[in-house]
A and B are shown apart, each in its own frame.
Chain A
Amino acid sequence: MSIYFYLFIEFFQIGLFAIGGGPATIPFLMNLTERYDWYTKADVANMLAVSESTPGPIGVNMATYAGFQAAGVAGGIIATFSLVLPSLIVIIIIAKLLENFSKNPYVQSAFWSIRPAVTGLIANAVLGIFETAIFTNAEGHFHFPVFSVLLCAVFFGVMNIKKLKKLHPVVWILGGAVFGIMFKM
């Protein structure tokens, strides 16, 4: 089967089951690295950085980037179209059938428990990104880089200072790039 077919199947599923927008696609994107060699777990961190620093919905940007990594420009286009196709279908059905979809008690109770589940899934995916982005060395073994861990903690602390909370992520990402170049990380 052609790679485009697999991209379609995988990203259609992500579009259908990633509930909660952009961040909800991260567990699925991490999961793909275990079944395909389209991109590595470490690439996911780069994809996130680019997606957060460019215009457009992060989830769409991530899909375009992931598809591009797998099969070039055509791959990016197919991944993106496959990601939004379920939305088109589902929203059109909901717009037709249910006037008060978000006030429906079944929908509300399902989402009451889906939301924390998605938080758990994203936490797990984020742990995986920490592992590959910080705690894995160039040879693929576990290491503990004190400087990177401290830098991460400092950035986390600074971005939670009340006055700086509203700053756009691109500011922090550029800051990270400057630190990386200055200290030859």
Chain B
Amino acid sequence: MKLLFQLYCTFFRIGGLTFGGGLTMLPMLKYELSEKKDWVTEDELLDYYAIGQCTPGIIAVNTSTFVGYKMKGIPGAIAATLGMISPSLLIISVLALFLSQIIDNPIMIHALAGIRVVVCALLLNTVITLAKKSFVSPLCVGIAIVVFLLALFTPVPTILLIIVSGALGVILQKTGKLKLDKEGHAKS
């Protein structure tokens, strides 16, 4: 019981003190889990992180579920995950309540108009970063363009596009057209 409470509190701190999620959370995870406590080694953490990236869902949540499970089985996984999402639930609920009260204020309307422009610039950055990471061969660029056009011009469901893309990679590998090294990078 004590360990479950510790798991909850530790991940509550990580969730509540890191902005941005994803990669920005890694230093905080390392500090809380490997340095302050010896729950997981740095290597284990990087492994969990890698798995968190290639499993469905939010990477930070996946990583906390993994660490929690390793520490105390299914109850541990649940405690860690609840800890990770609790700060978001509290902060966003309060903020959304507050924002919905002042959203019609003229100053707020101007501020949000400016913010929306910046969000667009930030998103453009996100797309470029993702493209740099995922465009590891010309075929990958082709896949991205085809999926982009299908999503833009046809009503094909997002889920189907993801499943078919995943199947394509497996088929290419099975038929020997795609060869990956141990790190998962394509061999030319």
Instruction: Please report A residues at the B interface, Cβ cutoff 8 Å.
Output: 13, 15-23, 25-28, 31, 42, 45-46, 48-61, 64-65, 68-69, 73, 76-77, 80-81, 83-84, 86-88, 90-92, 94-95, 101-103, 105-127, 129-130, 133-134, 148, 151-153, 155-156, 159-160, 168-170, 172-173, 175-181, 183-185
Contact = CB atoms under 8 A, between A and B. Distances in A.
B1 interface: no
Contacts, number: 379
B102 interface: no
Most buried by A among B55, B58, B97, B166: B58
Interface of B: 15-22, 25, 47, 50-62, 65-66, 69-70, 74, 77-78, 81, 84-85, 87-89, 91-93, 95-97, 99, 107, 110-127, 130-131, 133-136, 139-141, 143-148, 151-152, 158-159, 161-162, 165-170, 172-173, 178, 180, 182, 184, 186
A152 B121 contact: yes
- Tell me if A's interface is mostly helix, strand, loop or mixed: helix
Nearest to A111: B54
B134 A178 contact: no
A116 B144 contact: yes
Given A87-B65, A88-B81, A116-B165, 4 more contacts: A21-B60, A57-B21, A59-B21, A103-B182
A116 B125 CA distance: 16
B56 A112 contact: no
A126 B127 contact: yes
A60 B53 contact: no
